[in-house]
A and B are shown apart, each in its own frame.
Chain A
């Protein structure tokens, strides 16, 4: 027995109780309810087995929603990380407005996604929005577009807003990672005549691996769980082009089909766990 522990074992009791009450019990209940026809219109609950899951996986419309969610998660994760690293590298140098720019780029992180959604609804407005106005001023009238109303551009338009919103958070994590890299490595590389790209490829990126891991996981989870931004900007439209798992769960739940929406929620939960653990495993394996 280890008698040198700073805290006694029963200190784990409180977090464990809270974890069980607020996570394990609701999750287990959710799993159980996803096999029932629980709904708002009928007080009786019947066991329906896997019928909800069969309905979801047999219906192309729900598969499209899963595909949209994956596209959204992957695209936002890649863009936020690539831009985040670029901005972190740029803002890790010494110059006068460095702190101001860091604050500026981090600012959207502090805003509510709902507020951002409302603002960007106006920004993208085909008649009065600033995007089309700027294109008009630049003489690019041919590019003016109904960005959120066209099935071909709506998802991309939402992805851009999400990237704009959270790229600052990625930047901050990368800046912290960059500051942890010892100057000795970079000085040694300079002496050996390494180019900037070689330093990035062989020193900075490998040293940033823990930051990359955490950013990848956080962004993938956030991407798979996206709701508020899509809800405000497009509500899943037009023609379901931006429909994601959480907006469907919300719509099914509010229509009163609790059991069915819980089944969708379970799929999302399992899906998110698989993706997050796979990424974590792959990244930590490489770190080892």
Chain B
């Protein structure tokens, strides 16, 4: 009997330990505990995932103010630029996603599977304040899935320092031949012509994407054909030519010696110091430089459209980055409260006043800080403006294209093979997703 009692006790303890071990698999800790709609919210934490360069001091100041007002703490989880998308998608896919996460707008929202992972924000009160483009580019299938109260209706162009061009009698290039001449002149003057940071995968594809508005002008059905798998990227002559010219630039040494290791964070100094002559980048970049490097005057910089394939069109993005609420979070209501706080006029004014990287406002009555370079670029382009492929083509993955460009630079893939390989990856993803036509 005594032995039997011991056995029962042992079995009980075993079961208790198993239950204890399994208990750790459930729940999500204090940050997501309990109902979020009522009661004491002090001690609650909202996790916000973003790429490291997207969150600056003013975002943290506003988060602190929100905590003071509500007791809800904002925990920013920042990832390196080239790894952000991968990390957040992995977290969402494993059910460990943050409460709030950033995404690029336009068709890029689809990358995060909006129907499954994003809370519907269509009925939120702040929606009425937004510009139409900010709503359209944060919507998917008629539902608003993201808040773009601080939008950047931005574009990419080639940035240059006006004084460097003047000192070396360099004409602002209007086509690829003139661009090469400018690069040669810069090289002769001891300036590395272009700062290209191949290691950060989000960037190199800009050179190809820069030709997408021209490609769209040449074929108005381009994006429809790509989205229905009638054609692939390798079938678009403008993209092939853009990559061929990109390869030619690399071979000519226009990117300098360390372009495979260069990173975005070092770009400000590279340009401001005059060590490098140009960079293909977003229009708000001069303001970003001024925020990071003392003594930089944003007005010293100019911009021209990406000259590859003799392009004359500005490629518009869908509206930069935008914020989404994880639909599977236990804190959806708290996150909505945070969004409402950020959309208050006083907070928006603070944000726009301090965050001068916003070149156009997404909110009625709020002024942004367009750079001289951005204005110059848009004025010069006139009517020649089209949405870019990144914002318009399903499953467009600039990181993947940039990664394949690395192989093009090392000679293991030709420009055409880069696009064929990319088409293969994109088609596999679209097929898995059940996208019609794939």
A contact set with B: CB distance below 8 Å: 8, 10-11, 13-14, 17-18, 21, 37, 39-44, 61, 125-127, 146, 148-151, 231, 235, 237-241, 250-251, 253-260
Total of A-B residue pairs, C-beta within 8 Å:
105
Residue of A nearest to B405 (CB): A239
Contact with A along B405-432 (1 / 0, CB 8 A): 0110110100000000100000011001
Set of chain A residues within 8 Å of B116, measured between Cβ atoms: 40, 43
Query: Is B429 touching A256 in the complex (CB atoms < 8 A)?
Result: yes
Smallest CB-CB A-B distances: 8 pairs: A41-B433, A149-B260, A149-B261, A254-B90, A239-B406, A39-B432, A254-B86, A239-B407
Set of chain B residues within 8 Å of A251, measured between Cβ atoms: 86
- What is the CA–CA distance of A42 and B86 in the complex, to the nearest angstrom? 18
Query: Is B429 touching A146 in the complex (CB atoms < 8 A)?
Result: no
Residue of B nearest to A61 (CB): B421
Known A-B contacts A151-B410, A238-B410; A257 and B87 likewise in contact (beta carbons under 8 Å): no
Set of chain A residues within 8 Å of B89, measured between Cβ atoms: 40, 254-256
Query: Is B434 touching A254 in the complex (CB atoms < 8 A)?
Result: no
Question: Which one of B14, B22, B93, B266 contacts A256 once the chains associate, using CB atoms below 8 Å?
Answer: B93
Tell me the interface secondary structure of chain B in the complex.
helix
Query: Is A125 touching B261 in the complex (CB atoms < 8 A)?
Result: yes
Known: A37-B432, A148-B261, A254-B90. 7 other contacts (CB 8 A): A14-B18, A21-B22, A41-B113, A126-B258, A146-B258, A238-B406, A254-B89
Set of chain B residues within 8 Å of A39, measured between Cβ atoms: 432-433
Query: Is A10 touching B11 in the complex (CB atoms < 8 A)?
Result: yes
Query: Is B432 touching A10 in the complex (CB atoms < 8 A)?
Result: no
Query: Is A42 touching B21 in the complex (CB atoms < 8 A)?
Result: no
Set of chain B residues within 8 Å of A125, measured between Cβ atoms: 261
Set of chain B residues within 8 Å of A151, measured between Cβ atoms: 410
- What is the CA–CA distance of A151 and B407 in the complex, to the nearest angstrom? 9
Set of chain A residues within 8 Å of B14, measured between Cβ atoms: 13-14, 17
Query: Is A239 touching B412 in the complex (CB atoms < 8 A)?
Result: yes
B contact set with A: CB distance below 8 Å: 7, 10-11, 14, 17-18, 21-22, 82-83, 85-87, 89-90, 92-93, 113, 116, 198-199, 201, 257-261, 266, 397, 403, 406-407, 409-410, 412, 421, 428-429, 432-434
Query: Is A146 touching B260 in the complex (CB atoms < 8 A)?
Result: yes
- What is the CA–CA distance of A126 and B89 in the complex, to the nearest angstrom? 32
Most interface-central of A125, A151, A237 (chain B CB within 10 A): A237
Query: Is B407 touching A254 in the complex (CB atoms < 8 A)?
Result: no
- What is the CA–CA distance of A37 and B429 in the complex, to the nearest angstrom? 10
15 A-B contacts (beta carbon < 8 Å): A10-B7, A11-B10, A39-B433, A40-B89, A40-B93, A41-B434, A42-B434, A43-B116, A61-B421, A150-B260, A237-B199, A254-B89, A255-B86, A256-B113, A256-B429
Set of chain A residues within 8 Å of B258, measured between Cβ atoms: 126-127, 146, 149
In the complex, how many angstroms separate the beta carbon of A164 from the nearest chain B beta carbon? 20
In the complex, how many angstroms separate the beta carbon of B396 from the nearest chain A beta carbon? 13
Question: Which one of B17, B86, B113, B199 contacts A149 once the chains associate, using CB atoms below 8 Å?
Answer: B199
Set of chain A residues within 8 Å of B433, measured between Cβ atoms: 39, 41-42, 256
In the complex, how many angstroms separate the beta carbon of A125 from the nearest chain B beta carbon? 7
Residue of B nearest to A125 (CB): B261
- What is the CA–CA distance of A151 and B260 in the complex, to the nearest angstrom? 9
- What is the CA–CA distance of A11 and B9 in the complex, to the nearest angstrom? 12
Query: Is B429 touching A235 in the complex (CB atoms < 8 A)?
Result: no
Residue of A nearest to B407 (CB): A239
In the complex, how many angstroms separate the beta carbon of A15 from the nearest chain B beta carbon? 10
Known A-B contacts A250-B86, A256-B113; A41 and B18 likewise in contact (beta carbons under 8 Å): no
In the complex, how many angstroms separate the beta carbon of B433 from the nearest chain A beta carbon? 3
Set of chain A residues within 8 Å of B198, measured between Cβ atoms: 149, 238
In the complex, how many angstroms separate the beta carbon of A109 from the nearest chain B beta carbon? 25
Residue of B nearest to A39 (CB): B432
- What is the CA–CA distance of A127 and B434 in the complex, to the nearest angstrom? 47
In the complex, how many angstroms separate the beta carbon of A253 from the nearest chain B beta carbon? 6
Known A-B contacts A13-B14, A235-B82, A239-B410; A254 and B87 likewise in contact (beta carbons under 8 Å): yes
- What is the CA–CA distance of A148 and B421 in the complex, to the nearest angstrom? 24
Set of chain B residues within 8 Å of A260, measured between Cβ atoms: 428, 432
Known A-B contacts A40-B93, A150-B260; A255 and B434 likewise in contact (beta carbons under 8 Å): no
- What is the CA–CA distance of A188 and B113 in the complex, to the nearest angstrom? 73
Residue of A nearest to B92 (CB): A40
Set of chain A residues within 8 Å of B201, measured between Cβ atoms: 235, 237
- What is the CA–CA distance of A18 and B201 in the complex, to the nearest angstrom? 41
- What is the CA–CA distance of A44 and B431 in the complex, to the nearest angstrom? 13
Residue of A nearest to B17 (CB): A14
- What is the CA–CA distance of A126 and B199 in the complex, to the nearest angstrom? 13
Query: Is A18 touching B21 in the complex (CB atoms < 8 A)?
Result: yes
Set of chain B residues within 8 Å of A241, measured between Cβ atoms: 410
Query: Is B93 touching A237 in the complex (CB atoms < 8 A)?
Result: no
Query: Is B93 touching A258 in the complex (CB atoms < 8 A)?
Result: yes
Set of chain B residues within 8 Å of A235, measured between Cβ atoms: 82-83, 201
Set of chain A residues within 8 Å of B409, measured between Cβ atoms: 239
Query: Is B261 touching A10 in the complex (CB atoms < 8 A)?
Result: no
Set of chain B residues within 8 Å of A17, measured between Cβ atoms: 14, 18
Set of chain B residues within 8 Å of A41, measured between Cβ atoms: 113, 429, 432-434
In the complex, how many angstroms separate the beta carbon of A269 from the nearest chain B beta carbon? 19
- What is the CA–CA distance of A253 and B90 in the complex, to the nearest angstrom? 7
Query: Is A237 touching B403 in the complex (CB atoms < 8 A)?
Result: yes
In the complex, how many angstroms separate the beta carbon of B129 from the nearest chain A beta carbon? 32
Query: Is B406 touching A237 in the complex (CB atoms < 8 A)?
Result: yes
In the complex, how many angstroms separate the beta carbon of B172 from the nearest chain A beta carbon? 29
Set of chain B residues within 8 Å of A256, measured between Cβ atoms: 89, 93, 113, 429, 432-433
- What is the CA–CA distance of A18 and B260 in the complex, to the nearest angstrom? 47
In the complex, how many angstroms separate the beta carbon of B255 from the nearest chain A beta carbon? 11
Residue of A nearest to B424 (CB): A59
Set of chain B residues within 8 Å of A61, measured between Cβ atoms: 421
Question: Which one of A11, A13, A40, A146 contacts B113 once the chains associate, using CB atoms below 8 Å?
Answer: A40
Query: Is A257 touching B429 in the complex (CB atoms < 8 A)?
Result: yes
Question: Which one of B10, B85, B257 contacts A146 once the chains associate, using CB atoms below 8 Å?
Answer: B257
- What is the CA–CA distance of A229 and B244 in the complex, to the nearest angstrom? 34
- What is the CA–CA distance of A93 and B90 in the complex, to the nearest angstrom? 50
Set of chain B residues within 8 Å of A257, measured between Cβ atoms: 428-429, 432
Set of chain A residues within 8 Å of B260, measured between Cβ atoms: 146, 149-150, 237-238
Set of chain B residues within 8 Å of A21, measured between Cβ atoms: 18, 22
In the complex, how many angstroms separate the beta carbon of A35 from the nearest chain B beta carbon? 14
In the complex, how many angstroms separate the beta carbon of B43 from the nearest chain A beta carbon? 29
Set of chain A residues within 8 Å of B92, measured between Cβ atoms: 40
Residue of B nearest to A55 (CB): B428
Set of chain A residues within 8 Å of B82, measured between Cβ atoms: 235
- What is the CA–CA distance of A238 and B86 in the complex, to the nearest angstrom? 17
